[in-house]
């Protein structure tokens, strides 16, 4: 099949609407979409907790004599343990979701990461159990990461399979926009807690118990979504017809869909490079290179996160109008030019000019991670129903691996340029990979997922 062709689409089969469900019975499509939105929000809330909430309280898990370098390594390990576990979880849960159903595996994933997050809220500190405190923290984050990788591999395809094709762009945006919403929620919650419960010494209220509150909330969020799925969400339409006849993971890595997976891997690798610049490098740049105070950096990133919610929705709507392939080619080229230029200007803007600094941070945020807006639709459209959960989860998560080592790439680039400017290279690489990945793949906007058994829904590249 030519990379310039549009995927073949069979005659559409109507999905249930309000009139089909009977008087007083909720529309299963809407219930599945709400479940996808709530589940993804709970997922993203739990992912960002250690970055924002634990940062002021990491001394609780560390010996008092630990040097700053080791402390920074441990803090990075806590987050990295989740990143490493997510591809594993997506492969495991995607496989079984394709074999036994999205609904059942979504429940298992929600229960798993909810319990892991709640368990962290009750961990003892270094003063009580020594180095085991941080070992248990990393272990629970790893276990939680496996289930977090499983959640979006099951709940998102389930929601997309219930959504009519003309609404998939909007539905995707509503689901993925909970990423910056969750980030903003945690930032506000942590800020309020720090105002009420001072941090600083190991005996301070926030360090001893204040940080536990967001983790308890994260566990309760997962429990609430679990109950919602049990009561309101049904299995994907006609799932029995789509039950995988072979190992979905084998089909992706060794079978006829390996080229499709590689194309998605290229696109998602570019997107994760752009994401790392916005989520991890930008706050550090504002603080260390531009000279913005810590609290002001938090406020700027909060503003950027709130505005980027609109960016996600706008990107999703634009992809529905232009098509996913054209959108991602255009977004990649726009990101490498606009976001990189904004980053360079930011480095040369005085910290005292807070309005300009904030606008530039918002531009960088919007023109990098907003590309996630249509991703839920694109990845589920890209793979046939028999391997859809595996394709979505593995395509989404395995591309994390190369960008995860961005600090090493930045360090290597210092041989050729000042370290402050090295993230610009990552933006350019990310934009090029995003555009190239989209160019190598077919158009997917009009794929019919009303019949999950249809292999023509996502032909290999």
| Bridge partners of residue 6, in order along the sequence | 443
247-461 and 28-235 share a CATH fold: yes
Query: Which architecture, in CATH terms, is 247-461?
Result: Up-down Bundle (1.20)
pTM of this structure: 0.83
The reported pLDDT for the residue numbered 242 is 52
**Would you place residue 5 in the very low, low, confident or very high pLDDT band (cuts 50, 70, 90)?**
very low
**Would you place residue 48 in the very low, low, confident or very high pLDDT band (cuts 50, 70, 90)?**
confident
| Model confidence at 53: pLDDT above 90 | no
| Sequence spans of domains, the chain | 28-235, 247-461
**Would you place residue 6 in the very low, low, confident or very high pLDDT band (cuts 50, 70, 90)?**
very low
The reported pLDDT for the residue numbered 366 is 95
Instruction: Render pLDDT for 196-206 as a digit per residue (tens, 0 to 9).
Output: 988 878 888 99
Higher pLDDT, 97 or 361: 361
The reported pLDDT for the residue numbered 457 is 40
Higher pLDDT, 439 or 31: 439
Backbone angles phi, psi at 255, to 5 degrees: -95, -155
Q: Which residues contact 291 (CB under 8 A, 6 or more apart)?
A: 351
What is the CATH code of the structural domain delimited by 28-235?
1.20.1250.20
Asked which of 71-80, 203-212, 225-234, 269-278 is least confident by mean pLDDT, the reply is 71-80
The reported pLDDT for the residue numbered 59 is 85
- SS3 letters across 72-127: HHHHHHHHHHHHHHHHHHHHHHHHHHHHHCHHHHHHHHHHHHHHHHHHHCCCCCHH
Instruction: Render pLDDT for 208-225 as a digit per residue (tens, 0 to 9).
Output: 989 999 999 999 999 999
Instruction: Render pLDDT for 244-297 as a digit per residue (tens, 0 to 9).
Output: 566 777 888 888 889 999 999 999 999 999 998 998 889 889 988 898 887 788
């Amino acid at each position: 099949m030519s990379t310039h062709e549009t995927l073949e689409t069979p005659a559409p089969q109507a999905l249930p609407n309000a009139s089909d469900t009977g008087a007083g019975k909720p529309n299963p499509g809407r219930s599945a979409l709400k479940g996808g939105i709530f589940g993804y929000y709970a997922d993203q809330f739990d992912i960002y907790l250690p970055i924002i909430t634990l940062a002021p309280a990491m001394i609780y898990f560390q010996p008092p004599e630990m040097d700053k370098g080791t402390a920074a390594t441990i803090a990075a390990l806590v987050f990295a343990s989740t990143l490493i576990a997510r591809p594993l979880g997506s492969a495991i849960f995607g496989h079984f979701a394709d074999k036994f159903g999205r609904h059942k595996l979504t429940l298992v994933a929600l229960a798993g990461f909810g319990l892991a997050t709640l368990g962290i809220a009750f961990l003892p500190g270094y003063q009580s159990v020594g180095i085991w405190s941080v070992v248990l923290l990393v272990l629970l984050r790893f276990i939680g990461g496996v289930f977090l990788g499983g959640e979006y591999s099951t709940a998102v395809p389930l929601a997309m399979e219930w959504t009519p094709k003309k609404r998939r762009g909007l539905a995707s945006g509503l689901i993925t926009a909970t990423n910056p919403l969750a980030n903003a929620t945690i930032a506000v919650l942590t800020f309020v807690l720090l105002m009420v419960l001072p941090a600083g010494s190991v005996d301070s209220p926030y360090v001893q118990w204040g940080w536990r509150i967001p983790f308890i909330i994260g566990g309760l969020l997962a429990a609430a979504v679990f109950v919602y799925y049990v009561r309101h969400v049904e299995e994907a339409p006609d799932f029995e017809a789509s039950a995988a006849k072979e190992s979905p993971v084998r089909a992706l890595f060794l079978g006829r869909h390996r080229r499709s997976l590689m194309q998605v891997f290229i696109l998602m690798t570019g997107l994760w490079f752009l994401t790392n610049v916005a989520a991890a490098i930008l706050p550090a740049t504002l603080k260390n290179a531009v000279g913005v105070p810590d609290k002001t950096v938090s406020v700027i990133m909060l503003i950027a996160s709130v505005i980027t919610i609109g960016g996600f929705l706008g990107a999703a709507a634009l992809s529905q109008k232009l098509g996913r392939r054209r959108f991602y080619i255009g977004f990649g080229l726009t990101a490498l030019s606009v976001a990189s230029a904004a980053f360079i200007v930011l480095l040369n803007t005085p910290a005292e000019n807070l309005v300009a600094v904030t606008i530039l941070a918002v531009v960088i945020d919007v023109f990098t991670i907003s590309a996630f807006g249509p991703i839920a639709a694109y990845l589920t459209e890209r793979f046939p129903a028999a391997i859809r959960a595996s394709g979505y989860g593995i395509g989404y998560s395995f591309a994390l691996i190369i960008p995860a080592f961005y600090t090493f790439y930045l360090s290597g680039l210092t041989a050729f340029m000042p370290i402050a400017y090295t993230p610009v290279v990552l933006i350019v690489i990310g934009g090029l990979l995003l555009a190239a990945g989209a160019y190598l793949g077919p158009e997917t906007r009009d794929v019919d997922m009303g019949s999950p058994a249809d292999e023509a829904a996502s032909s290999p590249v």
